[in-house]
Chains A and B, each alone.
Chain A
């Protein structure tokens, strides 16, 4: 009744294997796939690389995966909302790669649209450009940044149709649409699944070609 892509939250999260690179949409606690993350935490699947803007809060949202020691490395932009990240990093329990937020979003988008790397002025001359190629364009120093791809993307959308077309809600959109393009397997958690044809085609943000698995929140 929800289309061919529909799976339960548990069945969907079983696709995440130990050691995977997982991309997760979120900005703080806005627009993150809460029930998929709860199920991932419950599964205990470990050795994960988590690619996300931030890591929620201590023990909350994505923070739960760190509290559970399921994370090996992080790629993201801002971990000051979850002080447990700096502690784990200082103790050598995880590796962390910081990327400026706009570069991070663009690197994810680039992976999704087949661009392996790009030059950007952001970060030129700063610590975060250390070890990266820098080149001048029109008199401006630019840093070579590589695209960021994942094995699995866990994204949150507001509504889907049975084919997997997605629409989003307010600032819960954030990184979700670009992450939906940048992983081998894309699992979307939505609040409602409607019959195909009932979403306005002009308003669909993520076309169903990108979506592999649809899950629906229980609450």
Chain B
């Protein structure tokens, strides 16, 4: 097993998800919501012009990050980054924005997670250490978006598996995860089971099992990432 450095890991995760969306958007328009961190980087890699980005603080048609000198602090995404408009973009109030999400109009959300378990439960809103106090739109997004794509590094900073048998942290949503993309693998949830679809060239299946606590099956068309 070959170690993948953090920055390379993040870029790979973002580019793999972007590739997935580019392919999906070939069938028509695709509306996606991107969380903070690696998910935001997905926007840098998508190339299909039929992909529209929604920000839950009230915008459809989010453009790239605002360049230095052109920042408008009343034009931000949910991570409070100054962004830009795209032609045809629109603004809405927060109730309408979450209505768009909860109502199933947003095709996919990409979010990070502390833990995902083999039943598709997601824990990504709080580590109960007394320092955090906030849920934001995490629960609404995992419940409302049609597809939930988890973008996360395979192991935590102290080397613990993040794909686990059962979440130990407070959950954000029950069985809501549809896909998990890490620097080493792409998994999907199919028929209530975790299935390995793609694997990185730096690692073998046995080595992957060694760093993954969750049990998973191999897809018949398992291929290299």
Contacts and interface: CB of A to CB of B under 8 A. Distances in A.
Interface size range of chain A in the complex: 35 or more
A30 B134 contact: no
B76 A102 contact: no
Nearest to A141: B174
Contacts of A98: 133-135
A63 interface: no
A171 B75 contact: yes
B52 to A, nearest CB: 16
A101 B76 contact: no
Interface stretch (A11-19, A174-182, A209-217): A174-182
B168 to A, nearest CB: 13
A135 to B, nearest CB: 15
A170 B75 contact: yes
Interface string B125-162: 00000111111111110011000000000000000000
Interface string B155-179: 0000000000000001111100000
Contacts of A53: 94
B57 interface: yes
Interface in A72-88: 77-81, 83, 85-86
Contact of A172 (B74, B92, B139): B74
Contacts of A80: 132-134
A126 B140 CA distance: 12
A122 B59 CA distance: 21
Interface in A147-197: 168-178
Which residue among B94, B134, B135, B171 has the maximum number of chain A CB atoms within 10 Å of its CB?
B94
A86 B135 contact: no
Contacts of A176: 93
A78 B93 contact: no
A117 interface: no
B73 A174 contact: no
A105 interface: yes
A52 to B, nearest CB: 11
Interface string B36-64: 00000000000000000001111100000
Contact of A170 (B91, B102, B139): B91
B144 A171 contact: no
A96 B130 CA distance: 13
A178 B58 CA distance: 12
Interface of B: 55-59, 72-78, 80, 91-95, 97-99, 101-102, 130-140, 143-144, 170-174
A78 B131 CA distance: 12
B97 to A, nearest CB: 8
Given A86-B130, A98-B134, A105 B102 contact: no
Contacts, number: 143
A33 interface: no
B92 A173 contact: yes
A90 interface: yes
B94 A27 contact: yes
B136 A78 contact: yes
Given A79-B133, A178-B94, 7 more contacts: A27-B94, A53-B94, A100-B139, A105-B94, A121-B143, A122-B102, A126-B139
B133 A27 contact: no
Contacts of A177: 93
A122 B55 CA distance: 18
Contacts of A66: none
Interface string A117-130: 00011111111100
Nearest to B74: A172
Contact of A124 (B80, B94, B174): B174
Nearest to A80: B134
A126 B144 CA distance: 15
Given A101-B98, A102-B98, A30 B73 contact: yes
Given A78-B134, A80-B132, A174 B139 contact: no
